Structures are given as C-alpha cells and as structure tokens.
Structure 1
Amino acid sequence: MKTKFLKTVTMSLFALTSTLAFAADNVVETKIFKVVPPQKANQDYLILALENGKVFKLSPEQKEFAYDLQKSINEDLQVKLTFKDEESAFIQSVELTEKYQLPTDIIVTPVAPSSSLAPMSRFSSYEGGRVNYDGFRPSIIPSMSVANQLFEEMPTNSKRRSQCFKRAHRWTYDMHSKHGINSMKIFVFYSERYMREYDDKWWFHVAPMVLVQEGSSYEEIVLDPTFAESPLAQQDWVNLTIMNKAPCREVDSYQEYESYMKSSEFCMLRKVSMYHFQPLDIEAVDAGGAKRTNWISSEISMAQRDFGWSLF
C-alpha cells in the first residue's frame, strides 16, 4: 500500500511539474527582428524573433498584432507573445513591454593559452584583404588536425532550448580565452522564399568559423557540433542547415541581406568577427554604429548560462 501511495504521489508531482513547465513554455519574451507581410491572399505573416531565432506566424486577419509588432521594432521595445502550446507557431496575443537596449559593458579578456594546445598561442594572423572580414584579422589554424582538436574541445551539454548564437558565442570565446585564437562566425540567413516553401521554423543559424592552412592558401572551415561530427568546409555545412542544399549568396551588409530577402535566393551568408553576438548588433554596425572590437560581459554570461554556468 505504501509503495502504491508513493507511486501515485510521484506521478501526481510529475504531472504538476509538466503542467507548470508547459504553462511557461507557451509564453515567449523576445525582441522582434522583422515582420514579413503576406505576398498572397492565402499567406501568413512571418514574424522573425530575435531571442530564439524562430519564425512565428500571424494569420492575415491578425493585422492589429502585426501593427503592434512593427511598432515594437520601430520603438525598440521587447514583446511578450503567447501561444496555444509550446509546439504552435501561431501567436495568440501580443504585449509590448520594456525598451530594448544593446549591451555596452565591454571587457577585454586576458588570453591564457592552455598547455594542451600551446603552439596555438603563436598563431599568425590573416593578412588578406577580404572586404567581408571588415578589418578583422582571424588567426590561421596550421592544420585540419588542430581544427579537429578544437572541435573535440567544444562542450555540447547546452540546455534543451539553447539558441545557436549563444552556443557559437561560448565556443568562440573559449577558443580565444583558452588558446588566443581569433575566430569568426558564419551566419546563414534564410530568405522569405525558403521560409515559405519549406515552412522552416528558423530564420537563421550561426556557427564558429576558422581559417585552416591548406598549402600556400587557406580554407574557411566551420566548427558546428550542433549539426556535424567534425569540422566542415563551408558548403558542406550549409548543406546540413538547409533542406534543399541550395548555394547561398554571400552578403557584406545588412542592406544586401534586405535586398535579397524577397528575391529568388534561398539563403544568404554573412561572415563576421567573433565579437558579434546576434543579428541585431550586426545590423547596428552596418547602420553606422561602432565596430565590435571587444567581448561584452553580459553577452558572455548569457552564452555561458546556456551551458548551465557563468563567469560574470
């Protein structure tokens, strides 16, 4: 009888916990990056959310919510969105909340190369003139074996609902703070055409990228334990992140991204320095803001919390 009672109590507590978690999961607090209006009568609004990189939806009849979300963008406000359940992409209510501000708490991280990869502290820097590196000088990784070693070091124990940009920030920060490596990030942005044709839940993905020496030249290699089991060449990585394996056009500014967003392209690539955290700060720099040249402690903290701990 006692065993049966304990089993009943345990099951009841589990049900209560699941209900509470579910109740929290149908509310999302975020910043909206873009409202994409329908182009045809039977299409929905596509709502690009910043905090989790997801594509939410509004029906054509929910114009008032679309206006509210556009207002939140224009006035830099955060929003609270509710959904029927955690699996639904359709927004049921919209509440405008507090002002959103990009963090500015800059830190300069001391570099302390680890003994296991000590030679990497003596990496040379890329001296080429690629425009899309925007003056940033990434380190040169001497071989694919070293790139594989870096890949194996990357922790993958992030939380179930972690965001790709936070994982990428943690990984690039670790490479810099442990080994003195100046890495980059590669963003893939999906176009309106792709999101509508494939009903994709995400509007971007990002991962660390390094330059690996290949004879007298260098190859851009993506390190993404989220999707891959080893370092990958750029197009091989893109093929894992896009359903139709389409080639992605490379862009050098947010303005270019905007121009191709509604084109026949399926996706766009943007390469930036390791200091960039999310699409919003890339947009801010492209609009004339100061270039990112240092880490920001609050962003590092958010990235580390996705793995269950934080230094700041």
Structure 2
Amino acid sequence: MWLVVLLSIFVNCAVFADVQLRTKVYDIDHGHDGEETLILLTSGHVARLKPTKNKTQNNFEQIKKAQQWLDVTLNAKNEIERFTVTAAASDLSGKANLVQPLPNEDYVPTVIPSMEEARAIFRQARYVNKDSQCFNRAHIWSYEWFVNNNVNSNKTWIFFTRRYIRKFKFEWWFHVAPSVRVMEDGIVKEKVMDVKYSRGPLNLKNWTDIFMRDDAVCPRVETYSDYANYPESGTCFYMRSSMYYYQPVDIESQETWGTMKPNWYDTEVKAAYLEAFDEVI
C-alpha cells in the first residue's frame, strides 16, 4: 500500500511549484509532425517545447552544441517558462577530473550477509525533504556507505524511452539509485536502496513499479547504446554500474572511449553534497 502512496506523491508533486534547475542540455528529441520537442537535461528532467517555438528550439540546439550551462525554470507541465545561459555550475568539466582509460575494471561489490544488516545500512542514509537530482543523492548515499561501512555498492539505472515519456508525459528520462548485494535465504540477491522513494531495500521490479505507469518489466541492457539507439522501443531499460559512475555520460563514455571510473572524484563528491544536501565539504 505504501508503494501506491509514494507513487501518488511522485506523480503529483510537480503541481505545487515550478522547478528551477542549473543544468545542461543532454539531447533533443524533435518528435514527429505536431509533437512537442523534448529537451533532455543532464539533471534527468525532460523539458517540453511546444511545436510553434522554433526560435527557442534553435537556441537549444546551439546551447547543446556549445555545452553551455543553463538556469531553467519548468512549470507544472514541465514546459520551459524561462531560461538563461549561465556560468559553469562547478569545475566538473576541468582536466583534473578526466578519467583515464583502463584495461579492466577490477571492482567487486560487497555481499551484505543479511537483509537485517542491509536494512540497518539503509536507515543510516541521510534524507532531506527537498527537490534534488537523483544522481547526486545516489552518489552521496553510495559514498557514505563506502566510507562508514566499507560497502562497495552498485548503481542501478533505469532509462525511460521517448515513447514512454511522450505517452505518459513523464518528467524524467532516467533515474538512478544505489543497489547492494545481499545474502537472502542462502542466495545472493541485488536490492535497490532508494532512500528517496522507498522505506527499505527493494527487489528490482518493486523499485521500477514506483515509476512505471504501465506495469512494464524493464529489460536489462549491457551497453548504453542499447538504450540510446532505440528510443521508441519498449518503455524502459535498466543497467548496472559500479558506485563510482556519477552520470549517464560516464556510462556512455565507457562504451565509446573505454574510460572506466576506478575511484571517487573529489569534484563530483563535492558537487553532489552541495546540490543534494546543501552541504559544503
């Protein structure tokens, strides 16, 4: 029952206030004749442009090409109310933050010995009742479980197809949360630890059901292009990565350039603390 309540809150929370973001343009989906243009933001949000706004659409094409940062305000329908080009939100794009290619990623997730211990770790996670970006929350939860509990977690990513986004006017194009391996009834199982939208560790389907309005089963894909190249196929896909991967661009870079993330990066951790929890470290 509580999942239904959470879903209701998740679906309807946008009606109360505009959303203000500092973000970049990740991709632009022009749709078919008469369809609104979808602006996929690096924050995970899907912003909407009506078909008549050709000048604004051209502006966003230029902004995407230049990889500029934006201050964007979205209304309750996720339509763009206003936007301005702004200075970089942080130095995340600096050379000091580049990841060097590695031949292999030697990463072994921790197996937590029981569900009781997994629940205890889940309860340690900080929670702030504010709008924040999912990848920043996930990064700090994973980071603090690593520092405080010596737990190597994974991240589970769910990607929503353009078809699904248009059909249900969905607000996001991806969502991410940490996941951990837990020994349960003598079997190692993966449990999603989404402190924002659940009360404890969840099986994958129970987690995706919070966001899927059509009860879809999200198939697993091994490469980012399996999702990106088929935007109209199905409704959702999921992937797993190590805890070090911060944004979808990291997964894409691994496939395209072979760049693997073997560690935490100071600029990413600082940016995640600031955006998700208003904390400067």
Query: Aligned pairs, how many?
Result: 256
Matched, 1:220 2:190: yes
Q: 1:302 aligns with which of 262, 266, 271?
A: 271
Partner of 2:112: 141
SS at match of 1:188: strand
CA distance in structure 1 between the aligned counterparts of 2:239 and 2:195, rounded to whole angstroms: 20
Q: 1:36 aligns with which of 25, 29, 45?
A: 29
CA distance in structure 2 between the aligned counterparts of 1:247 and 1:27, rounded to whole angstroms: 32
Q: 2:156 aligns with which of 178, 183, 186?
A: 186
Write the letter of the residue equivalent to 2:246.
Answer: F
Q: 1:62 aligns with which of 53, 57, 66?
A: 53
CA distance in structure 1 between the aligned counterparts of 2:71 and 2:202, rounded to whole angstroms: 38
Q: Is the 8 A contact 1:105 1:296 kept in 2?
A: no
Q: Is the 8 A contact 2:179 2:192 kept in 1?
A: yes
Change (3 A) 1:277 1:104: farther
Q: For 1:106-125, what aligned pairs fall within 5 Å after superposition? A: none
Partner of 1:13: none
CA distance in structure 1 between the aligned counterparts of 2:207 and 2:77, rounded to whole angstroms: 28
Q: Is the 8 A contact 2:193 2:202 kept in 1?
A: yes
Q: 2:42 aligns with which of 44, 47, 50?
A: 50
CA distance in structure 2 between the aligned counterparts of 1:222 and 1:44, rounded to whole angstroms: 34
Deviation of 1:134 after TM superposition, in Å, equals 6.1
Deviation of 1:212 after TM superposition, in Å, equals 1.0
Q: Is the 8 A contact 1:192 1:261 kept in 2?
A: yes
Q: Which ranges of structure 1 fall in alignment gaps of 5 or more residues?
A: 1-21, 107-132
CA distance in structure 1 between the aligned counterparts of 2:129 and 2:95, rounded to whole angstroms: 26
Q: For 1:245-256, what aligned pairs fall within 5 Å after superposition? A: 245-256=215-226
Partner of 1:128: none
Q: Is the 8 A contact 1:103 1:296 kept in 2?
A: no
Partner of 1:127: none
Deviation by residue 1:244-292 (Cα, 9 ceiling, x = unmatched):
22011211222111123221x1101011110111112222222205210
Partner of 1:210: 180
Deviation of 1:235 after TM superposition, in Å, equals 0.9
Q: State which drifts further: 61-70 or 139-148.
A: 61-70
CA distance in structure 2 between the aligned counterparts of 1:196 and 1:190, rounded to whole angstroms: 10
Q: Is the 8 A contact 1:28 1:81 kept in 2?
A: yes
Partner of 1:120: none
Per the normalisation by structure 1, the TM-score is 0.74
Write the letter of the residue equivalent to 2:141.
Answer: W
CA distance in structure 2 between the aligned counterparts of 1:159 and 1:285, rounded to whole angstroms: 33
CA distance in structure 2 between the aligned counterparts of 1:178 and 1:142, rounded to whole angstroms: 17
Matched, 1:91 2:80: yes
CA distance in structure 2 between the aligned counterparts of 1:101 and 1:296, rounded to whole angstroms: 9
CA distance in structure 2 between the aligned counterparts of 1:199 and 1:170, rounded to whole angstroms: 29
Question: Which has the bigger relative contact order, CA under 8 A and spacing at least 6?
Answer: 2
Write the letter of the residue equivalent to 1:38.
Answer: G
Partner of 1:72: 63
Partner of 2:248: 279
Matched, 1:152 2:123: yes
Q: Is the 8 A contact 2:92 2:267 kept in 1?
A: no
Write the letter of the residue equivalent to 2:63.
Answer: S
Partner of 1:197: 167
- Larger Rg, first or second structure (1 or 2): 1
Partner of 2:212: 242
Write the letter of the residue equivalent to 2:214.
Answer: N
Deviation of 1:145 after TM superposition, in Å, equals 1.0
Deviation of 1:237 after TM superposition, in Å, equals 0.8
Write the letter of the residue equivalent to 1:91.
Answer: I
Identical pairs, percent:
29
Partner of 2:3: none
Q: Which ranges of structure 2 fall in alignment gaps of 5 or more residues?
A: 1-16, 98-103
Deviation of 1:103 after TM superposition, in Å, equals 5.2
CA distance in structure 1 between the aligned counterparts of 2:70 and 2:157, rounded to whole angstroms: 24
Q: Is the 8 A contact 2:46 2:170 kept in 1?
A: yes
| Structure 1 outlier segments of 4+, above 6 Å | none
Write the letter of the residue equivalent to 1:78.
Answer: W
Deviation by residue 1:149-206 (Cα, 9 ceiling, x = unmatched):
11111111x2512111111111000110111111011011111111111111122111
CA distance in structure 2 between the aligned counterparts of 1:218 and 1:162, rounded to whole angstroms: 31
Q: Is the 8 A contact 1:38 1:60 kept in 2?
A: no
